[in-house]
Structure 1
Amino acid sequence: MRQWLGNLLAGLVGLTLLGGGASAQDAGGGGATRFILAASWQPAFCATNRQKAECRSQTEDRFDARNFSLHGLWPMRKDYCGIDAGIREADKEGQWESLPTVQISEGTRLELEKVMPGTQSSLDRHEWVKHGSCTGLSADDYFRLSVELLDELNGSAVQALFAANIGKPLDEATIKRAFDESFGKGGG
């Protein structure tokens, strides 16, 4: 049970502790929009999602085996901006493969496939439709910014802590200290 809890905490850390870390001018000109960088520790995610393509193909030497992987970049309290009702419904029903292909450069696509293994399950399409559409950025700029923020996380003491403790439980206080060390007091 303790191991399962450690894996769960590891899988959720990016979702819960990175909230509020980034802000940008609202596309509508009404002030700042806060974002949540949603990152996953992929081995923990795959422990309970073995049926997903990105989990079936995971190897010990792949990037996401020792680094955080990108789930998405979420503008707080905003989703599905300007998205057709039919596309929105398909997304909510989990029919991500039927969503429109995200229009990004080949370079961005290659980088995204490395850091977002969920592209194998069309996670990129879902993230763009639900969240990226509300940023005021082009799809290419949205995903490049997402990758840049993930790179900061993966270059931090937080990533080092998780990589050094694969298969071991981590407590909340230790994780918060690593965030504070990397991103300043209150970062965790």
Structure 2
Amino acid sequence: MTRLAALAAALGVLAVPAAAQTAAGGPVAPGRFDFYVLSLSWSPGFCATGGEAKAKDQCAAGSGIGFTVHGLWPQFDHGFPSDCGGAERSPSRQALATTDGVYPSEGLARYEWRKHGTCTGLSPTDYFAAVRRARDAVTVPAPFARPAQDQIWAPLDIARTFAAANPGLRPDEMAVTCRAGDLEEVRVCFSKDLRSFVACPEVARASCRAPGIDVPPVR
């Protein structure tokens, strides 16, 4: 043990993995963050803007995937932690089995655990349970259940439709993002205990500013 580590241990200071960084580059301790962002990816938009080359099964004709979990991200009011390392950088087979039906692929679940889950202070099993809980707490509005035709929506109207379908959720507690003119994601901000939605100005400012975006149909 180095002198610095010994001093930290004597003072009760939590050792922080060198890989744990905020978006601004400073080290952080796993479990120290302000709120969560649940990112729901619109799979047809993802597939139409380059995702098909990365996720062939997700984008295959007949997959029937609309909104799916991209991730559950610990977030600061300004910036976010990522890649916090720790002893469990690789989730067990048992933990990964619990992600079936939540993420579109096991590979994404692994990646999201390494980049974001390691910063929550939770075990892989508990983190994936939190992802499922957050996903189940958001009702996808009827127009986005299984649309069979292209739709054009204003991003703010998408946010309002989600708010109407989820009591207590407001447009300033989410973001609707776009890419290449297509709906990309809806991101919903949760308290750390996942019991309520919370305002998240920095996240909300990332909302798409286009007057109208394409919502490709579910395959």
Q: Which residue of 2 aligns with 1:33?
A: 34
Cα-to-partner distance string for 1:91-150 (whole Å, 9 max, x where unaligned): xxxxxxxxx642253xx634523221132xx22221111110010111011111111211
Cα 1:137–1:162 shift into 2, 3 Å: same
Spell out the pairing of 1:1-188 with structure 2 (5 A cutoff): 27=31, 33-47=34-48, 48-55=50-57, 58-60=60-62, 62=64, 65-66=65-66, 68-76=67-75, 77-83=80-86, 101-103=90-92, 105=94, 109-119=96-106, 122-153=107-138, 156=139, 158-163=140-145, 165-166=147-148, 167-181=150-164, 182-184=166-168, 186-187=170-171, 188=174
Identity %: 32
Amino acid at match of 1:163: A
Cα 1:56–1:136 shift into 2, 3 Å: closer
- Tell me the TM-score normalised to structure 1 length: 0.60
Cα-to-partner distance string for 1:21-61 (whole Å, 9 max, x where unaligned): xxxxx835xxx621111110111111122112344663435
- Select between 166-175 and 40-49 the one with higher mean Cα deviation: 166-175
**Consecutive unaligned residues in structure 1, runs of 5 or more:** 1-25, 85-99
Distance 1:101 1:55 in 2: 23
Contact persistence 2:82–2:115 (CA under 8 A)? yes
**Secondary structure of the equivalent of 2:137?**
helix
Give the CA RMSD over aligned residues: 2.9
**Secondary structure of the equivalent of 1:102?**
coil
Distance 1:183 1:60 in 2: 32
Distance 2:90 2:31 in 1: 23
- Tell me the TM-score normalised to structure 2 length: 0.52
**Secondary structure of the equivalent of 1:37?**
strand
Amino acid at match of 2:115: K
Going by fraction, where is helix more abundant, 1 or 2? 1
Distance 2:34 2:62 in 1: 37
Equivalenced residue count is: 136
